[in-house]
């Protein structure tokens, strides 16, 4: 193997306690010409303060429209091994669980067909295989399918759904986040692999209002677990926390947004009818408090990053939903929304922007949902009302 390029600037990023991505690229560069050229290109970017990647042309595997991001350097003469350097998105197992065997299978495939570099994981949740050439795409895909993996989404399609660790390891999971994410992924394989929407559509499943996968900020449909009945309290354990020095008044009671808790130094009282299901008290005293038994999820819609019309957080669509496999009620709702948005959405208009444009009230009418007070932070303040009266006498 040829010598590694000189990288005086990048070498600075091998110092310090945090694990270094430069060390990772150098390791791959010992084995792979593409990673060696990537190292050289990146050093050049650091010197020039400028990226050296071009827009992707459309590349992919037979019959799929998504899952591969075309990537080419604008300096192919200097770095020929990365003149194509496409990213493949591989749909992660829900909850990002792996057997060492599955992980090694992916490694072996990527050693044979690509740069040997990955992101574990990309922002949407996929395994990112970072960099290969156009002729290697199909063989990589075939090899991955043979060991049970498939591509994730990209472009104007349903993006790879993701979920928190949920019931696999978290006592706060109010529904089966992994099960729902997997079911949606399998049900909507066509929508995942063949872009046909106005723009991308993401699902994220969080098991409780702590929202560990940032569903409220990063998903077109955010499914966030919650409960309707009383918080389960183990009073002896509450006392234990207090005895061990937890200042319940200061840390728990004063931070309760529902102002629905009282602590007299011996007993914790919760007015559950005013509890906002925020999780704070449960987070502070996990051994003493738990979400209730009547568990389900709040479904919110529309969050996105700034491009095009500004960033949005998701807003409430279904205040409380009981998730039960095979989740047909949710899938019907999703199909109704997709049909409307595909019909009336503009090119590159996310569903949240679509709702902003047509109005939430009109959107609800179009998908056949009744307005509910839970859907707004407060009712309107302006009197420019489009009254829904029919023809008058």
Distances in whole angstroms, Cα of residue 52 to Cα of each of 15, 25, 47, 255: 25, 17, 12, 49
In the complex, least distance from residue 153 CB atom to other proteins, rounded to whole angstroms: 12
Tokens of 115: 């740069």
Q: Is 18 exposed, middle or buried (0-12, 13-18, 19+ CB in 10 A)?
A: exposed
First to last CA, the chain: 88
In the complex, least distance from residue 35 CB atom to other proteins, rounded to whole angstroms: 8
If the CB atoms of residues 214 and 366 are measured against other proteins, the closer one turns out to be 214
Question: Is 45 one of the binding residues for ligand SF4 (CB under 6 A)?
Answer: no
Residues 6+ apart with CB under 8 A from 256: 278, 280, 281
Contact 354, 341 (CB under 8 A): yes
Question: Is 233 one of the binding residues for ligand SF4 (CB under 6 A)?
Answer: no
- Tell me the C-alpha distance between 222 and 325, whole Å: 18
In the complex, least distance from residue 185 CB atom to other proteins, rounded to whole angstroms: 5
Question: Is 276 one of the binding residues for ligand SF4 (CB under 6 A)?
Answer: yes
260 binds, among ligand SF4, other proteins, none (CB under 5 to 8 A by kind): ligand SF4
362 binds, among other proteins, ligand SF4, none (CB under 5 to 8 A by kind): none
Q: Do β-strands 315-321 and 268-270 pair in parallel, antiparallel, or remain unpaired? A: unpaired
* Region binding ligand SF4 by CB under 6 A among candidate stretches 72-80, 208-216, 327-335, 368-376: 208-216
- Tell me the C-alpha distance between 53 and 50, whole Å: 9
In the complex, least distance from residue 393 CB atom to other proteins, rounded to whole angstroms: 40
* Region binding ligand SF4 by CB under 6 A among candidate stretches 54-62, 274-282, 356-364, 373-381: 274-282
In the complex, least distance from residue 192 CB atom to ligand SF4, rounded to whole angstroms: 20
- Residues at the site binding ligand SF4, with contacts judged by CB under 6 A: 164-166, 170, 172-173, 206-208, 210-212, 256-258, 260-261, 270, 275-281
């Amino acid at each position: 193997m040829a010598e590694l390029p000189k990288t005086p600037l990048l070498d600075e990023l091998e110092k310090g306690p945090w694990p270094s991505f430069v060390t990772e690229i150098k390791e791959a560069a010992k084995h792979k010409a593409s990673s060696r050229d990537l190292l050289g290109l990146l050093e050049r970017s650091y010197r020039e303060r400028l990226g050296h990647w071009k827009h992707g042309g459309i590349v992919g595997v037979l019959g799929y429209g998504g899952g591969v991001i075309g990537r080419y350097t604008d300096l192919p003469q200097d770095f020929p091994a990365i003149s194509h350097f496409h990213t493949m998105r591989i749909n992660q197992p829900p909850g990002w669980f792996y057997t060492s065997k599955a992980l090694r299978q992916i490694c072996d495939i990527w050693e044979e067909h690509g740069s040997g570099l990955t992101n574990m994981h990309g922002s949407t949740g996929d395994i990112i295989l970072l960099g290969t050439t156009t002729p290697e795409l199909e063989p990589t895909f075939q090899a991955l399918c043979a060991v049970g993996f498939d591509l994730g989404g990209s472009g104007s399609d349903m993006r790879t759904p993701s979920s928190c660790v949920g019931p696999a390891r978290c006592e706060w999971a109010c529904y089966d986040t992994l099960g729902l994410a997997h079911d949606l992924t399998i049900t909507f394989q066509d929508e995942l692999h063949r872009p046909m929407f106005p723009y991308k559509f993401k699902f994220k499943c969080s098991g409780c209002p702590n929202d560990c996968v940032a569903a409220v900020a990063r998903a077109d449909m955010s499914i966030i677990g919650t409960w309707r009945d009383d918080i389960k309290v183990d009073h002896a354990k509450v006392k234990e926390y207090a005895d061990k020095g937890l200042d319940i008044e200061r840390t728990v009671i004063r931070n309760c947004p529902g102002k629905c808790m009282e602590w007299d130094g011996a007993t914790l009282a919760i007015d559950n009818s005013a509890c906002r299901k925020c999780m704070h008290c449960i987070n502070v005293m996990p051994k003493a408090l738990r979400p209730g038994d009547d568990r389900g999820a709040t479904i919110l819609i529309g969050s996105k990053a700034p491009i095009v019309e500004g960033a949005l957080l998701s807003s409430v669509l279904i205040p409380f939903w009981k998730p039960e496999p095979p989740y047909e009620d949710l899938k019907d709702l999703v199909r109704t929304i997709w049909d409307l948005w595909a019909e009336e959405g503009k090119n590159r208009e996310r569903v949240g922007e679509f709702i902003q444009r047509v109005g939430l009230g009109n959107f609800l009418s179009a998908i056949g949902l009744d307005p509910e007070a839970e859907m707004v932070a407060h009712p309107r303040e302006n009197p420019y009302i489009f009254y829904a009266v029919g023809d008058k006498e």
